[in-house]
Chain A
Amino acid sequence: MRAAVLVFPGSNCDRDLATAFRAAGFETEMVWHKETSLPDRVDLVGVPGGFSYGDYLRCGAIAANSPICRALKDHAERGGFVFGPCNGFQILAETGLLPGALLRNAGLKYICRTVGLKVATTDSVFTGAYAEGEEIQIPIAHHDGNYFADADTLDRLEGEDRVAFRYSDNPNGSARDIAGILSENRRVLGMMPHPERAADAGHGGTDGQRLFAHLTEALATA
C-alpha cells in the first residue's frame, strides 16, 4: 500500500503522520505543495497538521488553493482515501472536500492537551477497529478547532452517520461536540485531534495506533 503526505510551508506534523503511516505498513512519500501531481498508485493521502502558510487569511485557506490540492481533489473524487488531522481538517474544509468550517476556539485560547473522544461510527476504514461509543484518549493542539456548520448540514451529517468522533467534554465550542467527520463516500476523514501523536508507546498513549493499523488492513482488502 502506498501513501503520500503533503508538505506545506508551516506544516509541523508531516513527519509524525508519515511515521504513523510507515509503522502501519504504508510505503510513504512526502509531497511538496508546489507539485501538481501525486505519486503513481497512491491509495492514501495524508494532509498533515501544522500552520500551513502561517494560518494567514484563514487556517488552511491558502494551502487549499495550492497546486497539490488540485491533485488532492482529483484523488478524492476518484474515490481515493484521505486523512487530515488538525490543520489537515481545516484544509479539507477549505477545499470543500468536507462540509463546514473551523472557527476560533470558543474560549479563545490555544489548547494543547489530551482529550477523551467517543467513537461515533465504526462504519469507515478509519474507525472500524474501535467499538461504537468507545472512549479513546487523543491529544489536541489547536487554536481554531471550533467546528461550525449550519443546522441542515449538521442534521445531514448525523443522518448519514458521518460524525466519526465526538468530544466527551467539548473543549472548543464545536457544534454538537463534533471532533471529526467523514465525506459522503466515507473515504475522507478530517478531525481536529491528532491520532498520529498517540500511535507509539513513547507518545504516552497508543489509542491512535488502531486507526492506522486498521487502515492498512482495510485498504489491503479494498
Chain B
Amino acid sequence: MKAKVHVMLKDGVLDPQGEAVRHALKGLGFGGVQGVRQGKVIELDLEDGTSEATIEEMCRKLLANTVIESYRIEVL
C-alpha cells in the first residue's frame, strides 16, 4: 500500500519561501496571486495493512514538527 503525507507550515507561521514564490509569480505577470504557501509531500511505500494510527505516529515522531507544521495523511 502507499500513503502520501502532506506537510504544511501552520497558519500563522510566516512562510518566507512561499512569499518569495508569490513575488516571482507577480514578476511573471501573475498579479492575481494573493498568497502562496509552500509545503512538502512525502510518499510512503508501506506494508499492506499498515494502520493509519501507525502513519500518524510517523508524522508526530519525525515527518512533521507539530510546533510549526500540520500534516494530512492520504492513504492511496
Chain A residues with CB under 8 Å of chain B are: 57-58, 61-62, 65, 93-94, 99-101, 103-108, 146, 148-149, 173
Contacts and interface: CB of A to CB of B under 8 A. Distances in A.
Contacts of B17: 104, 108
Nearest to A96: B67
A155 to B, nearest CB: 16
A145 to B, nearest CB: 12
A173 B68 contact: no
B50 interface: no
The interface centre, meaning the residue of A61, A65, A146 with most chain B CB atoms within 10 A of its CB, is A61
Contacts of A62: 62
Contact of A101 (B16, B20, B62, B68): B68
7 tightest CB-CB pairs across the interface, nearest first? A101-B67, A101-B68, A108-B16, A106-B16, A104-B16, A101-B65, A108-B20
B72 to A, nearest CB: 17
B14 to A, nearest CB: 7
A94 B17 CA distance: 21
20 contacts: A57-B63, A58-B65, A61-B62, A62-B62, A65-B62, A99-B67, A101-B68, A103-B9, A103-B16, A103-B68, A104-B17, A105-B16, A106-B14, A107-B16, A146-B14, A146-B16, A148-B13, A148-B67, A148-B68, A173-B16
Q: Tell me what chain A mostly uses at the interface: helix, strand, loop, or mixed.
A: loop
A93 B68 CA distance: 11
Interface residues of B, number: 12
A100 B14 contact: no
Contact of B14 (A94, A101, A173): A173
Contacts of B67: 93, 99-101, 148-149
Nearest to A102: B68
Contacts of A173: 14, 16
A87 B29 CA distance: 38
Contact of B62 (A57, A100, A103, A104): A57
A104 B62 CA distance: 18
Contacts of B65: 58, 61, 94, 101
B49 to A, nearest CB: 25
A103 B13 contact: yes
Contacts of A146: 14, 16
B67 to A, nearest CB: 5
Nearest to B19: A108
A93 B20 CA distance: 26
A107 B68 CA distance: 18
A48 B9 CA distance: 26
A99 to B, nearest CB: 8
Contacts of A149: 67
Contacts of A93: 67
A49 B28 CA distance: 38
